[in-house]
Structure 1
């Protein structure tokens, strides 16, 4: 693990408590907390064992490492998600989706059999991340686009950005930025994270230009690949799913070992 820029060894159970306390509300359903613990453990193992990389150790508020978080982690801290071969999967997770997860192939270009589109039907109940409206000043958008693309933009902001395609679930596929000296096309996740300076919550978005503002409407929060954290909470709360049901739903064809 990496802590304060230094590589350190940390007790697995204590480290997972910090991951869970950083990623979910400690008051959430204990089965959702367990799912997060297993997903976090698997994610760290994948980076350590498969990619040979260290992962940064979160530093949550001590008050978030509650008895409930400790109980959830203690129940599952030895478990990881595999394809049945003992090797950890790339257990990506996201805060919320637009009603379904995204395929990793559509998002980052890497195809994993267990990171495909699956329904996450309760995410619409997370009002803070559903139809979220974000106002960005036209002058700021121009700065973001020109700095990241090297293009010179024209006077009409309505001509700067076009959505070229959509993928499953209504997510934006490719986005093109148009300048007076050419154009650049990007995958929507790169556009969100780099071109537009990570100012949008999701790659499910629409936009319009009104006066001095770009008005973006998004659904979901994050890259939308893998387990939805709000989905995990709401499946546990609304349908009584166990952590194993949650993980097998979001990571298809996997095994918990």
Structure 2
């Protein structure tokens, strides 16, 4: 009986250990996120890796036991065939090959010290590879908290006050979890640029931002129990934009709020002068041709004052840019936000001399439109001076709007803020932290009706 009891205890302990490994492995997998790397990549067909302790290959679904090990510090990973990935030493010898459907990942080092250099940049945890349309895609399969080490200093200067950095860490963690399937159709979760969040791996990590991540570990922003889309931007210019007016979808936590904390910060106000030739060139690059630019008019704004429709009038027609097109067409760096006004800049003299043929002669004669009389639709003689002139051709009386004396050749765009204006203003967060507000105060100012909780997902 005693032996049976001991046997049962041993069985329970063994099963418990096995189950704990399974649970641990799966909990690890659930905490990982797949980030496509673009900044260090130099080729679409291969990538060079460096590992100080050789390379270990794991199955993505089992992060406990590795499948293979290579001693060399440098390897090259390349596309072999349609779905086949090869790992070579630097002499070109094939070390290992596999089908991408096997979901294998590679690392160097053990436990918390895992890191791999991809071309010139170091990344924590694991590197995964995909082949998409014949191109080799490099993915950093990384623990969420380790990922944030490489995000926060790229999204907010590490010199900012700690409470602002903590607010950024929580917002970035929340954004990552909310959007972790943004690129799932391509085989990864998020990318490493501004389309998602800027991520620089280990090379960009800073002590202060790492501390901010550690001090807020697991904290996320929720609304009515659900993870929010924690959008943020550089500077609101004094008032944030509601998501409903920016993109048409209504999130009750992304409303427009007054933001005095952003007013005196960098890009709180800005001005940019654009010549008509520059505007014309930008339009043509976007496939828009309205001829020579005559005028630019704001025709619609949101409740926060941001421009939602901008009409551009030219000699060959006109085009109204929507709120999403304005900065994309005219320049994201030049037009820092949609919170702007426009005034006309300098003018240039326009040659008003033209050649005309009257009814008594077939010989063209030089005339000055500023000094001739024209007949309008009521057949009354009047001076042609001014912006609008009328003339007669063989088909009858025709109206034509054109400047015959002066024409604007530049526009001055005076704006406030930098970015889309939705959610948290990063410079506003800095100012609030300087004034003694906590990360919770900051987040609850910019995100309406939210709670800060610990992620248990």
* Short-chain TM bin: 0.7 to 0.9
Deviation readout 1:121-150 (Å, 9 max, x if unpaired): 121111x30221122232121111234353
Partner of 1:71: 211
* Equivalent of residue 59 in structure 1, options 172, 186, 200: 200
Residues in 1 aligned to 2:263 and 2:173: alpha-carbon distance in whole angstroms = 28
After superposition, the Cα gap between the structure-2 partners of 1:12 and 1:121, relative to the gap in structure 1 and judged at 3 Å, is same
User: In structure 1, what is the Cα distance between the partners aligned to 2:257 and 2:270?
Assistant: 22
Deviations 1:196-232 (A, max 9, x none): 1323101111223323533221110000111000111
Q: Does 1:205 pair with 2:340?
A: yes
* Unaligned residue ranges in structure 1 (runs of 5+): none
Q: Is the 8 A contact 1:149 1:195 kept in 2?
A: no
1:166-213 deviations in whole A, cap 9, x for unaligned?
A: 222322232123344543333334211x22132310111122332353
> How do 1:89-100 residues align onto structure 2 when only pairs under 5 Å count?
89-100=228-239
1:168: which partner in 2?
303
Confirm whether residue 253 of structure 1 aligns to residue 449 of structure 2.
Answer: yes
- Among candidates 188, 199, 205, match of residue 323 of structure 2: 188
- 2:169 and 2:251 mapped to 1: Cα distance? 21
Task: Indicate the RMSD between aligned Cα atoms, in angstroms.
Answer: 2.2
Greater helix percent: which structure? 1
The higher relative CO (CA closer than 8 Å, separation ≥ 6) is in 1
- Point out the structure with max Rg over C-alpha: 2
**Quick check: 1:114 aligned with 2:243?**
no
C-alpha distance in 1, partners of 2:330/2:245?
A: 19
Alignment of 1:1-257 (within 5 A): 1-4=35-38, 5-49=137-181, 52=184, 54-57=189-192, 58-59=199-200, 62=203, 65-85=205-225, 87-126=226-265, 128-148=266-286, 150-154=288-292, 157-159=293-295, 161-192=296-327, 194-198=328-332, 199-211=334-346, 212-238=409-435, 240-257=436-453
Deviation track 1:103-130 (CA, whole Å, cap 9, x = no partner) reads 111112222111110121121111x302
- Cα gap change, 1:201/1:185 in structure 2, threshold over 3 Å: closer, same or farther? same
Normalising by structure 1, report the TM-score.
0.88
Contact 2:238/2:268 (CA < 8 Å) preserved in 1?
no
Query: 1:93, 1:200 → 2: CA distance?
Result: 18
Q: Which moved more, 1:48-57 or 1:163-172?
A: 48-57
In 2, distance between residues paired with 1:247 and 1:13? 19
| Paired positions, count | 249
Change (3 A) 1:40 1:205: same
TM-score w.r.t. length of structure 2 = 0.51
Aligned partners of 1:114, 1:48: CA distance in 2, in Å? Answer: 20
